[in-house]
Structure 1
Amino acid sequence: MFRGRRVFQVGLGAELRRLRELSGLSTRSVAAKLGTSPAWVSRTETGARKPTAAEVKELCVLYGVTGEPKDKLVAKASDDGGTVPIPADEYADQLANVMTLEREASRITDFGISLIPGLLQTPSYARAVLSGVSVPMRDMELSVSTRIGRQCLLTRPNGPGTRFFVDEFALRRRIGGAQVMRGQLKHLHACAELPKVTVRVVPVEAGAYPGLEGPFAVYEFEAISPYVYIENQKGGIFLTKADETCEYLDVCEQLQALALDAVGSAKLIERIAKELDH
């Protein structure tokens, strides 16, 4: 578990490890060729240290990586395609972590209890949510634009598969009033039709079920273990150890069994939106 620490090079280190393994080289042989130590190679691959652009270029030569794949790896090391530059405060640091995980994940599962998940919110709904937690007006539009900007991953060609579980009460809670909520539900319905997006509603009939303790998101990767982000009023915490994350992976599977299927969820969202018309 960690708080406020930036998730440097989540994808870069894993990709370098994959390329090393494809080339048939051990950490010891790579270290010998570069004049460094096996620990240096290992720490680079796990993200414990951030390699420089020059170091990544050397590794690419060693692994036979050229052209666009090489350029992308070097860009990440230069922060051009890596972690977003952020101001030095804890909440912004956590937001940068979340954005890094969203960019690097192969699959995201997001569970919302009282609110629609941020990746599915409309600008009007987001403003209503932020006004309810007393975000200063000077920060409101920046927060809203950042939240909406993150949603580009839903339609990005090489973006992650995204699975959202939403409690039915979140659909019925009139954040911002009937008009704002109607627009939000219609947007939610439209998002559910995107190729890489799945929206599943946990109906009120489910009663008490795993996950009611609070919202969370699970980020899964091709080359490293999952990360879990547990959101709270002051930001949130990240879980990285297997004995911590496995509980949330189990909850996701239980939600999968409890929630309405995609078709049933879409019908319920549409029905609740129509109720707002009256």
Structure 2
Amino acid sequence: MFQGRRVFQVGLGAELRRLRELNRFSTRSVASKLGTSPAWVSRNETGARKPTAGEVKELCVLFGVTGAQKDKLVAKACDGSDTVELPADEFADQLANVMTLEREASRITDFGNSLVPGLLQTPSYARAVFSTRGRTVSEVEQCVSTRVGRQCLLSRPNGPELVFLLDELALRRLIGGARIMRAQLRHIIDCAELPMVLVNVIPVDAGAHAGIQGPFAVYEFGSLGTYVYLENRKGGIFLTKPEEACEYLDVCEQLRGQALDVAGSAELIESIAKGLDR
């Protein structure tokens, strides 16, 4: 479904789906009005196919989309890059891409070397992180709400396998103070007990490791391809080329080899939390 596509196209599909639902159309009703099939509509929205600029224009007419918003959607249909960097003012597109990948992936590996990955963050921890980026209070709360809302993925029926690889240093960094960090650590332990969640910690005595240069997330779709997401301060970079994705799959394998097992990881996290109690 995802192999050979641009991530920007995933964002386009998510936006088309949002517009359809906003107008209370079913895939069948859209197909009927455009003289096509419900499968065609669904494939556009999931990114299984890339709609042409002309098709996007037809959908815009149907959904009542005009002006700058229409131009933006059509431009996405024309985009042809393989690696897309999204600046901060395109955060909505970036988030749509990430959420689509989370929804469709069969396995997600999320590595955090300085922070706890977003899918494991408590509201208080996330609030402390977002507050460092110069956002207003309302912007921070919106970001926190969105992040927490995405965490339903951890317990979703038939959801993806979720593997979290955490550098021990990320667990020892006092984000928000001892009370917030203690609650965050115990939240990670609770999440690790969920059926589809695995948490492995790379101890500090492992020394330099393959992920030391920065955090990343790998989204696997079986035989249909792999995407990698690299987050940075101004947005994020999505890698879609097979050779790039394979490199990060190798990194994941190396990190798992250096990490503690599930039981050892839980014991270390509990130990760090108890240290904060004292």
Normalising by structure 1, report the TM-score: 0.72
Look up the equivalent residue of 2:230 and give its one-letter code. I
Q: Deviations over 1:61-109 (max 9, x none)?
A: xxxxxxxxxxxxxxxxxxxxxxxxxxx9411111110000000001000
Measured in 1, the distance between the counterparts of 2:89 and 2:223 equals 30
Q: Is the Cα contact below 8 Å between 2:7 and 2:240 reproduced in 1? A: no
Q: Which runs of 5+ in 1 are unaligned?
A: 11-33, 35-40, 53-87
The answer to whether the aligner puts 1:178 opposite 2:178 as a matched pair is: yes
2:121 matched residue in structure 1: 121
- Cα drift, residue 135 of structure 1: 2.0
Give matches, 1:78-97, under 5 Å.
Answer: 89-97=89-97
Percent of residue pairs bearing the same amino acid type: 64
Normalising by structure 2, report the TM-score: 0.72
Of the candidates 28, 49, 54, which is equivalent to residue 51 of structure 2? Answer: 49
2:108 matched residue in structure 1: 108
Q: Which stretches of structure 1, 4 residues or more, deviate above 2 A after TM superposition? A: 1-6, 44-52
Measured in 2, the distance between the counterparts of 1:253 and 1:104 equals 22
Q: Once superposed, what is the RMSD of the aligned Cα atoms?
A: 2.8
2:235 matched residue in structure 1: 235
SS in 2 for 1:199: strand
Measured in 1, the distance between the counterparts of 2:207 and 2:219 equals 27
- Cα drift, residue 244 of structure 1: 1.1
The answer to whether the aligner puts 1:162 opposite 2:165 as a matched pair is: no
- Cα drift, residue 257 of structure 1: 0.3
Q: Is the Cα contact below 8 Å between 1:6 and 1:96 reproduced in 2? A: no
Q: Is the Cα contact below 8 Å between 1:6 and 1:94 reproduced in 2? A: no
Give matches, 1:7-156, under 5 Å.
Answer: 7=10, 8-9=12-13, 46-49=48-51, 89-156=89-156
Cα distance change, pair 202–267 in 1 and its aligned pair in 2 (3 A): same
Cα distance change, pair 203–185 in 1 and its aligned pair in 2 (3 A): same
Aligned residues: 215
Q: Which has the higher contact order (CA 8 A, sep 6+)?
A: 2
Give matches, 1:181-200, under 5 Å.
Answer: 181-200=181-200
Measured in 1, the distance between the counterparts of 2:154 and 2:252 equals 20
Cα distance change, pair 2–225 in 1 and its aligned pair in 2 (3 A): closer
Q: Is the Cα contact below 8 Å between 1:215 and 1:230 reproduced in 2? A: yes
Range with greater deviation from structure 2 (215-224 or 164-173): 215-224
